[in-house]
Structure 1
Amino acid sequence: MHAYRWLLLAAAVSAVVACDRTPNTAQTAATPAAEAPAAAAPTSGIDLAGIDKSVKPGDDFDEYANGAWRKATEIPADRASLSTGFYVFEKAEKRNADLIQGLEKANPAAGTDERKIADYYAAFMDEAGIEQRGLAPLQPKLDSVEAIADAAGLSRYLGASLRADTDSLNATNYYTENLFGLFVAQGLEDPSKNVGYLMQGGLGMPEREYYLGTDKEMAANRAAYQAYIAAILKLAGDADAEKKAKTIFDLEMKIAKAHASLVDSQDIHKANNPWPTADFAKKAPGIDWAAFFDAAKLTGQPTVFAWQPDAIKKLSALVAGEPLQTWKDYLRFHAINHSAGLLPKAYADLSFGFYGTQLQGTSKQRDRWKRAIGATNGALGDAIGQLYIKQYFPASSKAKVEDMVKNILATFREGVDKLEWMTAETKKTAKAKAETMLIGVGYPDSWRDYSSLEVKRDDPLGNALRAEEAEYRHQTAKLGKTPDRKEWWMTPQTVNAVQLPLQNAMNFPAAILEAPFFDPNADAAANYGAIGAVIGHEVSHGFDNLGSEFDADGRLRNWWTKEDSEHFKAATDKLVAQYDAYEALPGLHVNGKQTLGENIADVAGLQASYVAYHKSLGGKQAPVIDGLTGDQRFFLAFAQAWRAKQREAALRAQVVGDGHAPARYRALTVRNIDAWYDAFPSKPGEKLYLEPKDRVKIW
């Protein structure tokens, strides 16, 4: 996750805990964990053994900071990548396992969240039961596909399958396997009420470039995908599986050609299309929209935003233009594909072979208990989160990180005052936005209510589908209501962070506030270089190419003067060119426009955190620890927070379909920071060296 307000720990993407969203019911916050014991003298917080001193920092700071670690490290067979984020995730995963597995032994009372957690996990782990039941748990859905008899029935099925599984501004996740996805949030120009945003979907592969890309790797993926479709259908007993697979693939190719590009999807102005629901039939003919909205339980909504309007028009035309049987074959395959991980082993193995091995280069499927932990977190994330913070998140950590956030926000405001190019009018609005930005550290003030979610110990697939439906009900219940600015979009046990442009808020979950990102026993330089840069990154997202479009109330509004806008664009154009030059794989370059928002946040966030670090010293000289100055530790901590090793397939997937640059290029952000040149003198002629005039400075 793409404009991506999430930090998304690059190579740790596949390691992030799957989480439920939007805790929104008023309950008393859980009591945090007991205080950690007082520490001795601070440690440096730097992995000295991971440094490769044979590399000049000015040639490749990532390789200098992480080269020895990379040479000594093998990616586990069940991972597409390995990174600092993975180690922190692994700790959270083990803690989640202890909590969830411990509930089974505690035998909680029926109807409690604890009972639901235990039963959800046990059902997922019941491999023998899954084998015995075969396709039977999915049969009602397959029967509903088979029962589609006309265009109205097809539209009704598509509407009934709509889920709140996309998120265009927070996560940001543009992908849904359903033909459309729904995102619920406040209006772009009217922040007083929540509205629905309809988004394009319908692809079995991750992104349209997998269908349209011309290189041999993408051609191989297409061939493997068509073979996978055929294999799934054959296993399910379909006659003419090969023929159907080609028809399904050809339909998906048409869907891909209808899709807006990732860069276009990131353009908030192209997405600002409030369509009256009564006008959908006229604006996007083809679908029986009355039947669609009725089945989606959206009939009462006066307006739904069309995030990618041209794509929605074209997808609707395809619904009417393609043979009904083609759509039925397509929907049957996707019903099986979506649930393959909870069907008998033969289905799960086929799915992993394509999505894990072919698309990510991973040779071994993750242990079932790990998949079960992730799935349980996805369905009951907040219920687990309450247990997590009681056990693992001391109030002292919350307080210390809150102080760091306040310090970095203050530094950002002071930095705005010092900008020579920005007019006083724009400065005033920027500072007001920073002053009112809400800080969420550790966990939310209120928690999700799971009382309506039915969990059965003998129905793992049903549990998953009911959890998706419960999430949809939870989201659509917010439509037309006043937005909750304190709403969280991550669970406490998620290893990530997020900036929420519509809420002008930030979430820093408890699970990311662990060493080496945050270590209460480490020196300030390491903490500011690692978690401080994360904080600065999220603060800066409020002022990147997307965040700067919103004011302090989360309203889409141009608060820039013409001159300020032109200066900002000139600076960001330099950053686009800088990242366009990075060649991740032979012939495959990073897309500077696609990753622009994240790159702005990295540059501005690192600078803000550096200034805040020095401010935290209170005028004192930073100590030398392990032979490293404070500034050296700061920049090394930043680069080591981004250390990563990726399989080639996973790296290609990230460059093609992700809003974040690969981790190694994020570590190279330092080349835009003047202080780095003092800490690790880089000279003209070295690969990273930039003349002062060429260093990108935005905020």
Structure 2
Amino acid sequence: MNPNSKGTKRVKRHILSTITLSLMAAFAHAGGHEGHDHTSAPTSGIDTRYIDKSVRAQDDFFQHLNGEWLRSTEIPADKSSWGSFAKLRDDTLFQLRDLIQGLQGKKGLKGDDAKIAALYASYMNEAKLEKLGAKPLAGELSRIRGLKDKKGMPSLIAHFNKTGVPAPYGVFVSQDARNSTQYAAHMSQSGLGLPDREYYLKKDDAKMADALAKYELHVAKVLGLAGNKDGADKAKAIVALETELAKVQWSRVENRDPVKRYNKMEISKLAESAPGYDWQAALGATGIAAKTDSVIVAQPSYMTEFAKLVESTPLETWKAYFEWHLLRDASPYLSKDFDQANFAFYGTVLTGVTEQQPRWKRGVGVVEGAIGEGMGKLYVASHFPAARKARMEELVKNLLVAYKQSIDSIDWMSPETKKQAQEKLAKFTPKIGYPNKWRDYSKLQFKEGDLIGNMGRAAEFAYNRNLAKLGKPIDKEEWGMTPQTINAYYRPTANEIVFPAAILQPPFFDMKADDAVNYGAIGAVIGHEISHGFDDSGSQYDGDGNLRDWWTAEDRAAFKVKADAMVKQYGSYEPVPGYNINGKLTLGENIADNSGLAIAYKAYKISLGGKTSPVIDGLTGEQRVFMGFGQVWRTKMREQQAIVQIKTDPHSAGRFRANGTVVNQPAFYEAFGVKEGDKMYVKPEDRIIIW
């Protein structure tokens, strides 16, 4: 995640909790390109300038394809990484800024346009923010400092949930994974100031220990900026408390299991399993208890241990903890001393970025986070030709046909389970470009001179909108990403695959290019999202979005053998010396990458109708499919950010998303003549082919 995009993250927290399987963990955004000029010959879609001719594709496919780019490219000072996604994100920021600036100065603005202009203006008014300092938080700080006993904690945490401030647990509404026709209340662990629990617990890791020590100094500094004279002592207590929370939180690998995360219980039963904390008051204050008597608890053992920590930890430590997380959340929207301190730690220490993004870029991110679909309407009208959506619909249809054939042809699955898989595939719902129904922001109000108030109102609007779903029919038109997002996702409880408008441009989708590169790039993205419905997690949901075991025991065991082999394969990769990819954490994404590319290649071959693929720029169509895939993952990343990615991101590093995927594809060996003795060669019996 871009350290400067916190505003986006804050108000999307309730939405993103329902999206589990996306192309990229870090959401990027991009603008449009012109449509296909049908009067000209198609291009290869491969940027041959970046091919490293000193390295053979048979020895290092990623380096061969991207070597010259890697040599000539420097990561911008204000970025933690640079590549296809980051470049397109930057492109869209300029386009979105132009759209926002086109609104400013106009008289009589109404609706979403007026809200966009007001929020952006409030963020860009630095003089006002400098004058105010920490004063906008006076009421919130008073609420925390005035806490007289622990009985007030449930109400305070509920308030934090509503206003988007991090807390030890979060509540939200999403589909019931055992009954996807209904919404249910959910509760999940939260509340750490570092990217992952391992930053607190890996005492033998010098880099993580250093980050933890600097985190404590940062906490002390920010508390001091807010007027705390004992900031150092409070910071020490806060880090100690967060360490205790980290010890009892579930790991990211544990949280990948949807069955273990599904623990539906009556609120009264939660009080029995996690005594020592008033859960009835907690869920009453959130508004949940007035609408339902049950809640799905993702990590019940954590709630039990959290309740114990409430009892054993002094009230003053909890108050310091709450004050810190309020300040942490608000720092980007306060005066420069808070904002720069926030960047110095979360930007520089954690991700290696030495220069903060220009304020206007951060301002665009704030607007997107608060009123994303309002911006999306403007973006689609200006940057998304209808022809692009029509072509994408055709590609999705072709990929689904290829997937159907692939399920029929696999030799490790019984006819009984194949039938169930085909039934699920037939129920997939594709969404392309933008929502059919735009979000209604009429109840959301912004004031030009009140940035902190605006951010709180945006978060509360998102919370109330989410809470209001309880007891209502499922909104099948809702999107979990905005049209200007460069990403895609699969939502298992809806069995839907979603492709926002902005991903439909080069290098993912090129209307001027021959089909091969589009199948290798956006085709593999489509296949990737379909494959999430059949990975180790998504395969536990049926075609209606319900957690249901539709596999025979023998087929599930055969699948596990292949999955375990993939865990071992990716776990052997070492993006940073001493830091290997977590094969279990990345398993679902690695399955999706491998199966997605295999299906995309199959779809391309079907599209040829038995004809020989055209040779363009000296490259066969079969080669261009794989090269289209490989150039999408062209990335350079700072070491600090690479470590954060390894510890937190379910996606593998770009180099290994490319090389780790193609070595399992028999067609790759044929396309590039890879033979035994070549460094990319893997014996046929060791290649992992699932779908």
Structure 1 length-normalised TM: 0.94
Tell me the secondary structure at the aligned position of residue 58 of structure 1: coil
1:271 aligns with 2:270: no
Deviation for aligned residue 1:15: 4.2
Q: Is the 8 A contact 1:486 1:505 kept in 2?
A: no
1:341 aligns with 2:336: no
Deviation for aligned residue 1:123: 0.5
Tell me the secondary structure at the aligned position of residue 198 of structure 1: strand
What is the aligned partner in structure 1 of residue 99 from structure 2? Answer: 99
Deviation for aligned residue 1:6: 4.0
Deviation for aligned residue 1:89: 1.8
1:146 aligns with 2:145: yes
Give runs of aligned pairs for residues 386-425 of structure 1, distance below 5 A.
386-425=377-416
What is the aligned partner in structure 2 of residue 248 from structure 1? Answer: 238
Structure 1: distance between partners of 2:39 and 2:129? 49
Structure 1: distance between partners of 2:50 and 2:319? 54
Structure 2: distance between partners of 1:93 and 1:481? 36
> Could you tell me which of 195, 204, 207 is aligned with 2:196?
207
What is the aligned partner in structure 2 of residue 24 from structure 1? Answer: none
Give runs of aligned pairs for residues 258-337 of structure 1, distance below 5 A.
258-300=248-290, 301-337=292-328
What is the aligned partner in structure 2 of residue 42 from structure 1? Answer: 42
Structure 1: distance between partners of 2:449 and 2:378? 24
1:430 aligns with 2:458: no
User: Are residues 108 and 563 of structure 1, via their aligned partners in 2, closer, same or farther at CA, if it must alter by over 3 Å?
Assistant: farther
What is the aligned partner in structure 1 of residue 175 from structure 2? Answer: 186
AA partner of residue 601 (structure 1): A
Structure 1: distance between partners of 2:190 and 2:505? 36
Q: Is the 8 A contact 2:29 2:502 kept in 1?
A: no
Deviations 1:327-350 (A, max 9, x none): 001111111111100010011101
Structure 2: distance between partners of 1:62 and 1:81? 17
> Could you tell me which of 660, 663, 684 is aligned with 1:671?
663
AA partner of residue 431 (structure 2): G
What is the aligned partner in structure 2 of residue 27 from structure 1? Answer: none
Structure 2: distance between partners of 1:514 and 1:469? 34
Deviation for aligned residue 1:689: 1.3
Structure 2: distance between partners of 1:296 and 1:499? 29
Q: Is the 8 A contact 1:536 1:608 kept in 2?
A: yes
> Could you tell me which of 672, 686, 691 is aligned with 1:694?
686
Deviations 1:574-613 (A, max 9, x none): 1111001101112211111110000000010000000101
AA partner of residue 131 (structure 2): Q
Deviation for aligned residue 1:64: 1.0
1:608 aligns with 2:623: no
Give runs of aligned pairs for residues 515-594 of structure 1, distance below 5 A.
515-594=506-585
What is the aligned partner in structure 1 of residue 157 from structure 2? Answer: 158
Structure 1: distance between partners of 2:622 and 2:172? 42
> Could you tell me which of 457, 463, 479 is aligned with 2:470?
479
Deviation for aligned residue 1:108: 4.2
Structure 2: distance between partners of 1:485 and 1:547? 19
> Could you tell me which of 202, 206, 209 is aligned with 1:219?
209
Tell me the secondary structure at the aligned position of residue 305 of structure 1: strand
Deviation for aligned residue 1:560: 0.3
What is the aligned partner in structure 2 of residue 684 from structure 1? Answer: 676
1:237 aligns with 2:227: yes
Q: Percent identity?
A: 44
Structure 2 length-normalised TM: 0.95
Deviations 1:137-189 (A, max 9, x none): 11111111012111211221012212597xxxxxxxxxx83211234221111
> Could you tell me which of 474, 487, 493 is aligned with 1:496?
487
1:658 aligns with 2:657: no
What is the aligned partner in structure 2 of residue 620 from structure 1? Answer: 611
Structure 1: distance between partners of 2:676 and 2:109? 68
What is the aligned partner in structure 2 of residue 61 from structure 1? Answer: 61
- Name structure 1 gaps, 5 residues minimum: 18-31, 166-175
Structure 1: distance between partners of 2:211 and 2:127? 32
Structure 2: distance between partners of 1:594 and 1:4? 16
Structure 1: distance between partners of 2:640 and 2:538? 31
Q: Is the 8 A contact 2:388 2:511 kept in 1?
A: yes
Structure 2: distance between partners of 1:680 and 1:324? 65
Deviates more, 1:371-380 or 1:148-157: 148-157
User: Are residues 439 and 39 of structure 1, via their aligned partners in 2, closer, same or farther at CA, if it must alter by over 3 Å?
Assistant: farther
Tell me the secondary structure at the aligned position of residue 153 of structure 2: helix
What is the Cα-based RMSD across aligned positions, in Å? 1.8
Deviation for aligned residue 1:40: 1.3
Q: Is the 8 A contact 1:529 1:606 kept in 2?
A: yes
> Could you tell me which of 347, 351, 365 is aligned with 1:356?
347
What is the aligned partner in structure 1 of residue 119 from structure 2? Answer: 120
User: Are residues 606 and 5 of structure 1, via their aligned partners in 2, closer, same or farther at CA, if it must alter by over 3 Å?
Assistant: farther
Deviation for aligned residue 1:3: 11
Q: Is the 8 A contact 1:52 1:63 kept in 2?
A: yes
1:7 aligns with 2:3: no
AA partner of residue 251 (structure 1): L
Q: How many residues align?
A: 672
Tell me the secondary structure at the aligned position of residue 340 of structure 1: helix
Structure 1: distance between partners of 2:205 and 2:34? 55
What is the aligned partner in structure 2 of residue 173 from structure 1? Answer: none
Deviation for aligned residue 1:681: 2.1
- Name structure 2 gaps, 5 residues minimum: 2-16
Structure 2: distance between partners of 1:38 and 1:462? 51
Tell me the secondary structure at the aligned position of residue 584 of structure 1: coil
Deviation for aligned residue 1:36: 6.3
Structure 2: distance between partners of 1:465 and 1:354? 23
User: Are residues 459 and 292 of structure 1, via their aligned partners in 2, closer, same or farther at CA, if it must alter by over 3 Å?
Assistant: same
Deviations 1:366-414 (A, max 9, x none): 1100000011000000111111111111111001001101100110011
Q: Is the 8 A contact 1:342 1:460 kept in 2?
A: yes
Structure 2: distance between partners of 1:686 and 1:45? 27
What is the aligned partner in structure 2 of residue 29 from structure 1? Answer: none
Deviation for aligned residue 1:33: 11
Deviations 1:253-310 (A, max 9, x none): 1111111111111111211100211222211122222221122111222111110111
Deviation for aligned residue 1:58: 2.6
Give runs of aligned pairs for residues 363-402 of structure 1, distance below 5 A.
363-402=354-393
Structure 2: distance between partners of 1:54 and 1:163? 56
Deviation for aligned residue 1:16: 5.0
AA partner of residue 120 (structure 2): Y
Q: Is the 8 A contact 2:347 2:354 kept in 1?
A: yes
Tell me the secondary structure at the aligned position of residue 470 of structure 1: helix
AA partner of residue 215 (structure 1): D
Tell me the secondary structure at the aligned position of residue 608 of structure 1: helix
User: Are residues 33 and 520 of structure 1, via their aligned partners in 2, closer, same or farther at CA, if it must alter by over 3 Å?
Assistant: closer
AA partner of residue 320 (structure 1): E
Structure 2: distance between partners of 1:35 and 1:647? 35
Q: Is the 8 A contact 1:361 1:647 kept in 2?
A: yes
User: Are residues 66 and 417 of structure 1, via their aligned partners in 2, closer, same or farther at CA, if it must alter by over 3 Å?
Assistant: same
Structure 2: distance between partners of 1:536 and 1:484? 25
Structure 1: distance between partners of 2:59 and 2:189? 42
1:458 aligns with 2:458: no
Tell me the secondary structure at the aligned position of residue 173 of structure 2: strand
Deviation for aligned residue 1:38: 4.0
User: Are residues 302 and 34 of structure 1, via their aligned partners in 2, closer, same or farther at CA, if it must alter by over 3 Å?
Assistant: farther
